[in-house]
Amino acid sequence: MDAVVGMEGNGPASPDLREIGCILASDNAVALDAVMARMMGLDPGKLRFMQTAKEAGLGDFDSESIEIAGALEPIPDFKIPPLGGEANLGNPAIQSMLESKTTLLPEADPDLCTACGTCVEQCPMEALSMPEDLPVVDADLCIACFCCQEICPEKAIALR
Ligand code: SF4
Ligand code: SF4
């Protein structure tokens, strides 16, 4: 993972650049993401894409299962993107309530979208379809990975 210069804030579409100065390597991508999530101040177990990856048998985010070589310090005051309830690290009951009320989903702006179809093709969960000239998301499939927002050439996708 190239974290020499990272992104923070309203990423991945319009982030602030942040000098982190790290390169991380692992033979397991889930463990790698879990380590970086903790460095950013997040609990990887509360991120849907991490849960989905673990359920699929791709790896584990539990810290006991990850062997770390080297000093990985938390990034001070890292500005996380607007993850809604996913970023709340508090009481599990409150977490559950917040997730049901605030979970973000991608939404395309009809004034910016050119119906190029890139987001539909690239969504790893096949959660996007384009019945007419605007992509729509299946909330049951979306894992809030934000790839569609990052990849849209028109910056037409917002998280709502
Ligand atoms: S990638 Fe952007 S411009 Fe293309 S269809 Fe998706 S939202 Fe529209
Ligand atoms: S956020 Fe990820 S899973 Fe959801 S629609 Fe976009 S690319 Fe697909």
- pLDDT tens digits along 26-61: 999 999 999 999 999 989 988 888 888 999 999 999
Average pLDDT over residues 119-147: 93
- Look-up: residue for tokens 């993972």? 1
Residue 76: enclosing H or E segment and its boundaries? Answer: none
pTM of the model: 0.57
The residue whose CA is least distant from atom 3 of ligand 2 is 142
CA 155 to ligand 1: nearest atom: 2
Name the residue of 113, 126, 129 to mutate for ligand 1: max ligand atoms within 8 A of Cβ. Answer: 113
CA 118 to ligand 1: nearest atom: 1
Q: What angle do CA 63, 66, 70 make, to 5 degrees?
A: 105
Task: Spell out the domain ranges in the chain.
Answer: 2-82, 104-159
Name the residue of 111, 112, 118 to mutate for ligand 1: max ligand atoms within 8 A of Cβ. Answer: 118
Percentage of the chain lying above the pLDDT 90 cut: 57
Q: Which residues line ligand 2 (CB under 6 A)?
A: 106, 123, 125, 127-128, 137, 142-148
CATH number of 104-159: 3.30.70.20
Strand partners, 106: 159
